[in-house]
A and B are shown apart, each in its own frame.
Chain A
Amino acid sequence: MLSNLSPASRGAVLLVAGISIFGFSDNLTLLVSDQVGVGLLHVSR
């Protein structure tokens, strides 16, 4: 489906998808924030 789009539109779709996944995964940080500090989170990640 994406192959029918222009490169610029395809890039926009991929960018919105990627940044939206960050919105999802960043929210999961709250699941571990009571167990570790931010430094240990980034070491583990």
Chain B
Amino acid sequence: MIMVALLGRLWGLAVVPRHWKPVLARTAFMVTSMLLYFGVMPMMPIAEAGAGLFTSPIFVLLFSSILFKERIGWRRILAVIIGSAGVLLVLRPGSAGFTVYHLLPVVAGASYAMGSLITYRHLREESPLAILMSFIVSIGIVGAFSTTGLTLFPVSDEMRQQAPFLFSGWQSVEGIFWVWIAVIAAGASVALSLMTRAYQLTKTSYAAIYEYAYLLSVGFFGWLFWDIIPDMVSIAGIALIIMAGVVIVLAQSRSE
């Protein structure tokens, strides 16, 4: 929050939204997306969860076609088919290890897509730092309320054992926790400031291609820190999802 406020002062951008309704609607979808995505991280290779989240460009196309009757053209229809095949390869519904929780990153991708559509259709004139500040404040508030709710009204033991990170209430932490939180928060702050600057320099639709570097990075550090490597079928699925995203972005750039 402090960093966003400082950037706002430095760049002369507002950190308080002017268009409250669409900002709140966008924030609701983005917060839902991030809570679901982070919530399942301990349950599967993070690169696979990330691939689920990165289905959002596919959902943007589907929602644009269904909700706004936009024509999407054969290239992007092909991208939807490729991306959907990739999702099936990563998730493998019906296989032994598949649970309903494996669907949550894809739900996160759909929610992220709704947030992106609201940004594109209603918030082009809004300050990007105001949008970011709204998200940061809201995810903290929602996190506090959901944790309190799970403390007062805990889920069944069975659900908690299946997804402890998703369903835990308030609890005491060890001192080292705050060290790791500081490192995570510092990493996120540096990353956000670099990306905010990047989006000021690069055409937004074209820049989205580079965001797929996240899947390479998260997969690399997952291997380095935890020795977690997705299997070959999942890697093929992740590659298809990346391919679909790149086709969508390039088709978007052509149409602009």
Interface residues of A (CB under 8 A from B): 7-8, 10-45
Query: A residues within 8 A CB of B177?
Result: 32, 35-36, 44
Asked whether A35 and B171 contact (CB < 8 A) given A12-B198, A21-B194, the answer is: yes
Interface residues of B (CB under 8 A from A): 34-35, 38-39, 41-42, 46, 139-140, 142-147, 150, 164-171, 173-174, 177-178, 180-181, 183-188, 190-195, 197-203, 206-207, 210-211, 213-222, 225-226
Measured in the bound complex, the distance between the Cα atoms of B171 and A38 in whole Å is 12
Cβ-defined contact, B185 with A14, below 8 A: no
Cβ-defined contact, B184 with A28, below 8 A: yes
Query: B residues within 8 A CB of A34?
Result: 42, 164
Q: Which residue of chain B is the closest to A15 with respect to CB atoms?
A: B198
Cβ-defined contact, B41 with A22, below 8 A: no
Interface of B is mostly: helix
Measured in the bound complex, the distance between the Cα atoms of B144 and A18 in whole Å is 27
Cβ-defined contact, A27 with B38, below 8 A: no
Cβ-defined contact, B226 with A15, below 8 A: no
Cβ-defined contact, A30 with B42, below 8 A: yes
Cβ-defined contact, A39 with B143, below 8 A: yes
Q: Which residue of chain B is the closest to A13 with respect to CB atoms?
A: B198
Cβ-defined contact, A39 with B42, below 8 A: no
Cβ-defined contact, B165 with A22, below 8 A: no
Cβ-defined contact, B202 with A23, below 8 A: no
Residue among A7, A22, A30, A39 with the highest chain B CB neighbour number at 10 A: A39
**10 closest A-B pairs (Cβ-Cβ)?**
A23-B217, A25-B187, A37-B168, A11-B202, A11-B201, A18-B194, A42-B143, A39-B147, A15-B198, A18-B195
Q: Which residue of chain B is the closest to A45 with respect to CB atoms?
A: B185
Query: A residues within 8 A CB of B139?
Result: 42
Cβ-defined contact, B201 with A40, below 8 A: no
Query: A residues within 8 A CB of B146?
Result: 39
